[in-house]
Amino acid sequence: MRRLALSATIILSLGLTGPTLAQQAGTGGVRYRWVDASGLPHYSDSLTMDALKYGYDVINSSGTVTEHVQKQLSPTERAAAEKQAAEAAARKHAVDQQKARDIQLLNTYPDEDALKDEQQQVLESLDAQMNTTRSNLHTQDSALTDLLNRAADEERQKKPVPKYLVDQITGQRNVVANERGLLEREKANREAMLQQQAQELQHFRDLKAAEKADRGY
């Protein structure tokens, strides 16, 4: 009796139940293992609904885990997992893109002066565009002034302003407004470019400093 009690104690300490032992004896080894919501391990030689629910390990005849299968996810859990995976992928993609841009920046400009020269050329191109817009605005504004003067002449002669002239004035005002709006956008674009170039220059300096630190000289 004492020997039987000792054997039962050993079996319970291993967490093996009677059916589990029988299954092991019948199959020659445990094949599936999972842990339930209470943290208790379970073993079986075939997949059960609980194993699928909680996720399980596949164990060979030597007792080695050969595969771990994640638990089945609810639609809400699956959506959350997919969102998390997508966010992680987006972060990795952003990091990879930044690394590629950094490499291109360092390969394109051998030193700070080369980058500054390129930036200045960009600003000069923007300035040329604004000068063209200013010239067009001046031309269109002069045309509007001429139309307004013609309308004023009609009024001074106590004549009604012809409809065609009113329509021309309305259309020309729209042209002037569009040109003026374009010029304002170009100014804003140049200011944004200045800020971007300042950030790019500082980033270039940081990359060069990191390169120097890695070389040790």
Q: What are the structural domain ranges in the chain?
A: 2-69, 74-108, 110-215
| Cβ–Cβ < 8 Å for 109, 118 | yes
pLDDT in tens, the chain (217 residues): 434 333 333 333 444 443 343 334 334 455 899 898 888 998 988 888 888 888 899 998 888 999 888 887 778 887 887 898 899 999 999 999 999 999 999 999 999 999 999 999 999 999 999 999 999 999 999 999 999 999 999 999 999 999 999 999 999 999 999 999 999 999 999 999 999 999 999 999 999 999 988 888 7
Q: How many angstroms separate the CA atoms of 122 and 144, rounded? A: 33
* Alpha-carbon Rg for the chain in angstroms: 39
- Amino acid in the structure at residue 160: P
Please report the pLDDT score of residue 29 as a whole number: 57
Please list, in sequence order, all residues whose beta carbon lies within 8 angstroms of the beta carbon of residue 189, skipping any fewer than 6 positions away.
Answer: 126
3-state secondary structure of 14: coil
Handedness of CA 177, 180, 186, 191 (dihedral sign): negative
**Residue located via tokens 């595969």:** 67
Query: ∠ CA 96-98-101 to the nearest 5 degrees?
Result: 110
Please report the pLDDT score of residue 3 as a whole number: 41
Q: How many angstroms separate the CA atoms of 172 and 166, rounded? A: 10
3-state secondary structure of 152: helix
| Cβ–Cβ < 8 Å for 33, 41 | yes
Q: How many angstroms separate the CA atoms of 217 and 210, rounded? A: 11
**Residue located via tokens 């002034």:** 145
